[in-house]
Amino acid sequence: MNDNNGRIYIRFLDVSDTDDMLDLMLRNRQLFEGVSPKRNESFYTKEVQEKSILTSNSQREEDKRYAFGIFLKETQQLIGDIALFEVQRGPHQKCILGYSMDQAHNGKGYMTEAIQLILKYAFEEVGLQRVEAGVMPRNVGSIRVLEKAGFQQEGLNRKLLEINGKREDHLLFAMLAEDFLKA
């Protein structure tokens, strides 16, 4: 997906992206481990990264997860990933948004662009009505990204996830299709 005026584009990952994804994860391991649930050491191998991409592709076919890479238009470099996961149909019509960005590219507005592209996909292509995102209160950069993208804070999920051996609170943000499509 591409916005002609944007500096990035998003597309589904395929196995040809395995080495680039592994490199991204290894370069940013310390940063990502500070905000993500614990990962096994095997996560940082080519085999697991390839399997993750293949699993995401099959989950897309099952309408459970839509995972994209974030790429710079100018260089085609993979600089992050973004996904809609835990898709719920029926009366809910919602999912959770997750994302990560190479620390070398933080603070440049790329994630805000990527979120706009994936929201367009979520609401216009997949037909969801609600996209939720959770962020730890101390992750000020991620909170700012969600607010810039138009998400509204709705509450606090106490001790939602275990991060680095400690249960962490997460602020709940959401974007509704009607709000996105009006903007």
- Residue 10 in this model has a pLDDT that exceeds 80: yes
DSSP assignments along 59-81, one per residue = HHHTTS-EEEEEEETTT--EEEE
- Residue 102 in this model has a pLDDT that exceeds 80: yes
Give the pLDDT confidence score for residue 35 in this predicted structure: 67
Q: What angle do CA 164, 170, 176 make, to 5 degrees?
A: 140
The answer to whether residue 137 is domain-embedded is yes
The answer to whether residue 127 is domain-embedded is yes
Give the pLDDT confidence score for residue 183 in this predicted structure: 67
Q: Measuring CA to CA, which residue among 111, 154, 109 is closest to residue 131?
A: 154
DSSP assignments along the chain, one per residue = -B-TT-SEEEEE--GGGHHHHHHHHHHTHHHHHTTS----GGGGSHHHHHHHHHHHHHHHHTTS-EEEEEEETTT--EEEEEEEEEEE-TT--EEEEEEEE-GGGTTSSHHHHHHHHHHHIIIIIS--SEEEEEE-TT-HHHHHHHHHTT-EEEEEEEEEEEETTEEEEEEEEEEEHHHHHH-
pLDDT single digits (tens) 35-61: 676 777 777 889 989 999 999 999 999
The answer to whether residue 100 is domain-embedded is yes
| Average pLDDT value for residue range 153-174 | 91
The answer to whether residue 134 is domain-embedded is yes
Give the pLDDT confidence score for residue 166 in this predicted structure: 86
Give the pLDDT confidence score for residue 44 in this predicted structure: 81
Contact criterion met (CB below 8 Å) for 13 and 81: yes
How many domains is the chain built from?
A: 1
- The pTM for the full model equals 0.91
- Residue 69 in this model has a pLDDT that exceeds 70: yes
The answer to whether residue 144 is domain-embedded is yes
The answer to whether residue 2 is domain-embedded is no
Q: Measuring CA to CA, which residue among 99, 178, 103 is closest to residue 143?
A: 99
The answer to whether residue 16 is domain-embedded is yes
- Residue 14 in this model has a pLDDT that exceeds 80: yes
Expressed as residue numbers, the domain containing 133 is 8-182
The answer to whether residue 3 is domain-embedded is no
- Could you tell me the CATH number of the domain that includes residue 169? 3.40.630.30
**pLDDT band at residue 77 under the 50/70/90 scheme:** very high
